[in-house]
Structure 1
């Protein structure tokens, strides 16, 4: 259905994306063919897909009918509505749903990652993309972790935040760690990542464990002492002399790979 008026209320779900990620309106926004397709196949009910004529045609030919309204707009109209030139030419909005409980997210999991204080949305998106690519079953969010459904996180993750189960622990910065007992009681071996030279080698920390929870902290400060005390072991990634740390998404990716390697070797 063609919409030529940028003020048409049917476009309100994607309006002013340059000013808001729409989380305050209870929405999830996806951009581009691949991410939109992952939104459509996710647990989030899609309200509409908006795009250029050729983008909508390509979407249907590639992924099939989405089962929601599809609105055609030209480039100028879309730019006026969202607030910038959206060259991808395809955007979708969906309703948020009730968040998963931690017990639901880990019910069939063997490998999970726990995030404390990771507040950068691009890091969150990168972590989810890395986790999805390396057999991590769920992402658990501690205090200070940013919203995975923020528009930038969805985009950077290539839509994997829409596919990978995630849940948030209750509690503040000095209390959320008590909930890690849920993982220990479920049989997870809890490993906190730290650059401390006194920590054990990551490969040693992971060897021989059927279920593992890898915990990473924010850029700079890393994990709190409260969090590390709640884990079974502190592990380090060996680094070349003169370096002190990795980007959190990079460190997590290395840990995910080492976890994969330990499983295949075991």
Structure 2
């Protein structure tokens, strides 16, 4: 399919978008539901799209402004997009793109990508020595930041619970700088029943929690288990009582100046660094 010009969003070309994947991108609740249902996710910026393609993910279509086409050309060639194949590339001036998406598109391009099938938990854990579990984290930026820290600090895999925000949501991907495509991850369900699966695979499960009787992170790092699963909880309340009770250990990060805890993304980075 050739490049499609959407210069005027009122003309039929705009209505001819094969999926409404690029409309109402600022409606978080809508996107959270519709993207998984349609088997797609959105990757934003040339670098992030390139990382997704390198991970073997296939694009459905691209949306960009004319001035970014030269930067995108290697990706279009590689994926058979625009004049190089069957994947459509929608192009319009930036003011038109803003009307379509609801925000100013300043990161070169967005690509609608086929959502890959998630691997089994056992496959993700195979060969892993240190994993992170994200329980019920609702802020997409925190999920993305935790994934970026996991990639940068050599965490082997990440598991996300059923109530955790989508790591393939556009903001999660952007904050992760595309590292969501580099760290093996999947959903673990049921939870906290899935702790039994981690334990059966030989992992010591460590819940990061504010408990007076908890080990300090320094104590854990001084004598780490052979296989370790670090469990981090949602913003505000932290881990559920059921998870803390079912975990092998409770671990806390020592704090100063009356501060009780860190943001979950910051706590993840500290814990990953200390136990590397």
TM-score by length of structure 1 reads: 0.87
Tell which deviates more after alignment, 244-253 or 18-27.
Answer: 18-27
* 1:184 to 2:199 alignment: yes
Deviation at 1:57, TM superposition (A): 1.0
Indicate the RMSD between aligned Cα atoms, in angstroms. 2.1
Q: Tell me the residue number matched to 2:43.
A: 30
Q: Does structure 2 conserve the Cα–Cα contact (< 8 Å) formed by 1:37 and 1:63?
A: no
1:121-160 map, 5 Å = 121-160=140-179
Structure 2 contact 60–112 (Cα < 8 Å) conserved: yes
Q: 1:122-157 deviations in whole A, cap 9, x for unaligned?
A: 111111111111111211122421111222212221
Q: Distance in 1 between matches of 2:137 and 2:56?
A: 24
Residue 18 of structure 1, aligned match among 17, 22, 26: 26
The match for 2:84 is: none
Residue 78 of structure 2: SS of its match in structure 1?
coil
Query: Which residue of the other structure, out of 204, 213, 237, is the alignment partner of 2:229?
Result: 213
Pair 50,63 (structure 1): closer, same or farther in 2 beyond 3 Å: closer
Residue 140 of structure 1: SS of its match in structure 2?
strand
Alpha-carbon distance in structure 2 between the residues aligned to 1:99 and 1:66 = 22
Q: Is the 8 A contact 1:138 1:165 kept in 2?
A: yes
- Give distance in 1, aligned partners of 2:73 and 2:58: 18
Give the Cα separation in 1 of the matches to 2:265 and 2:224: 25
Task: Give the C-alpha shift of residue 73 in structure 1.
Answer: 2.5
Instruction: Map 1:1-266 to 2 at 5 A.
Output: 1-4=3-6, 5-6=8-9, 7-10=14-17, 12=19, 13-19=21-27, 20-21=30-31, 22-23=34-35, 24-61=37-74, 65-68=78-81, 69=87, 70-171=89-190, 176-206=191-221, 207-260=223-276
CA distance in 2, matches of 1:137, 1:125: 16
- Contact persistence 2:132–2:230 (CA under 8 A): yes
Find the aligned partners of 1:134 and 1:248 in 2 and give their Cα distance. Answer: 16
Matches of 2:189 and 2:163, distance apart in 1? 11
Q: For this pair of structures, how many residues does the alignment match?
A: 256
